[in-house]
């Protein structure tokens, strides 16, 4: 585990923007900058921290953690579903197949929890018992485990993700029934694998999202990221039972505490300008990203080089033959 001083030193050196137009047409996502050229997509993970469909902060080493965590999981799940990764020329970059992306995010939930507007607990607390096509049983309480994991899809949007059911996905032509059935089965299998590996390392995979795409022949691929601190919620397995029994929030290794701080100090959905995230929370979030990477993979997180991140990326892309 790297020292806190190293994280603090990196606060003003985070990767917030990229400019590699020689790689192709740029698409700026919430966290990643994607460059599209021919049949390839260069996915560069920045350090931008996103929640509530907003950028909340810039977190040291986050981009490297996201990329390396995804690569770990892609390798651990390729027997379940093929993925889009072709190459990894830099710790922050994946070179991927260009695919037709399904405009649906497959959110798989193992527990009744969450605080965002699209969270299952938010809906349940407000009296909803039909959630994205799933009938929710009476008498559940926050952070309780479902008998079986459920899929709660949302539409994929640059603005706000909207809840949707499987029936609506099909009726609106977002996916065919056969595509939905195939991907839903794969999503649940991926989640089960994630739960198993997380449990072996003392963690609970609480919920996550998957994205899928297909090539022109109809072959389906797992895309984007998998089981990262951005796409997933993790709790500490050892303390969960006691925390749940005592009615306390589970110990977690995700960004929930940053979400909670913003909800307490502003309205992150409506306020035009958000307050700056406190430095101690940003440093703690960086530490948790790194801790999760190390706990899941069993590998020590290593700093890539002493170079500026942008310069390092440029050098690695040149070495790999992607830039002149």
Domain positions in the chain are 4-100+255-319, 102-218+228-245
Domain 102-218+228-245 homologous superfamily, CATH: ATP-grasp fold, B domain (3.30.470.20)
Fold of 4-100+255-319: Phosphorylase Kinase; domain 1 (3.30.200)
Q: Comparing 20-34, 169-183, 207-221, 303-317, which segment has the lowest mean pLDDT? A: 303-317
Top mean-pLDDT range of 79-83, 283-287, 300-304: 79-83
Q: Is the pLDDT of residue 304 over 70?
A: no
Q: What is the pLDDT at residue 248?
A: 96
Prediction pTM value: 0.90
Q: Do domains 4-100+255-319 and 102-218+228-245 have the same CATH topology?
A: no
Contacts with 247 (C-beta within 8 Å, 6 or more apart), sequence order: none
pLDDT in the model for residue 12: 86
Q: Which runs of consecutive H residues, i.e. helices, occur in the chain?
A: 4-9, 62-77, 120-125, 166-171, 177-200, 237-245, 256-265, 279-297, 309-319
pLDDT tens-digit map of 160-184: 678 999 999 999 999 999 999 999 9
Asked if pLDDT for residue 305 goes beyond 70, the answer is: no
Contact assessment for residue 190 and residue 210, using Cβ atoms and an 8 Å cutoff = yes
pLDDT at 230: 87
**Mean pLDDT, the chain, integer:** 94
Question: How far is it, in rounded angstroms, from Cα 53 to Cα 156?
Answer: 12
CA separation for the pair 28, 217 (Å, rounded): 28
Render the burial of 307-317: b for 16+ CB within 10 Å, e for the rest.
Answer: eebbebbbebb
In whole angstroms, give the CA distance from residue 69 to residue 264: 30
pLDDT band at 259 (very low <50, low <70, confident <90, very high): confident
Contact criterion met (CB below 8 Å) for 70 and 79: no
Mean pLDDT to the nearest integer, 48-52: 87
């Amino acid at each position: 585990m790297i020292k806190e001083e190293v994280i603090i030193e990196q606060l003003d050196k985070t990767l917030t923007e990229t400019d590699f137009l020689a790689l192709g047409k740029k698409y700026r996502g919430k966290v990643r900058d994607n460059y599209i050229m021919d049949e390839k997509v260069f996915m560069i993970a920045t350090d931008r921290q996103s929640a509530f469909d907003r950028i909340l902060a810039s977190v040291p080493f986050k981009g490297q953690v996201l990329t390396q965590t995804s690569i770990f999981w892609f390798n651990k799940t390729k027997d379940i579903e093929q993925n889009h990764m072709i190459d990894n020329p830099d710790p922050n970059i994946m070179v991927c197949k260009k695919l037709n992306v399904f405009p649906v995010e497959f959110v798989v939930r193992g527990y009744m929890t969450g605080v965002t507007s699209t969270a299952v607990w938010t809906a349940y607390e407000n009296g909803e018992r039909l959630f994205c096509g799933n009938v929710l049983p009476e008498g559940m309480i926050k952070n309780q485990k479902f008998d079986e994991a459920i899929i709660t899809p949302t539409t994929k949007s640059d603005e706000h993700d909207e809840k949707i059911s499987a029936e609506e996905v099909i009726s609106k032509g977002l996916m065919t029934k056969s595509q939905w059935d195939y991907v839903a089965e794969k999503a649940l299998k991926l989640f089960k694998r994630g739960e198993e590996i997380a449990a072996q390392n003392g963690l609970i995979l609480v919920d996550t999202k998957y994205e899928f795409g297909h090539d022109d022949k109809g072959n389906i691929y797992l895309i984007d990221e998998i089981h990262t601190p951005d796409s997933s919620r993790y709790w500490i397995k050892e303390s969960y039972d006691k925390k749940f029994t005592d009615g306390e929030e589970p110990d977690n290794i995700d960004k929930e505490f940053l979400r909670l701080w913003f909800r307490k100090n502003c309205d992150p959905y409506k306020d035009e300008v958000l307050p700056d995230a406190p430095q101690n929370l940003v440093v703690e979030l960086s530490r948790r990203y790194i801790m999760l990477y190390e706990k899941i993979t069993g590998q020590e997180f290593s700093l890539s080089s002493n170079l500026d991140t942008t310069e390092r990326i440029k050098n690695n892309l040149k070495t790999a033959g992607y830039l002149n």
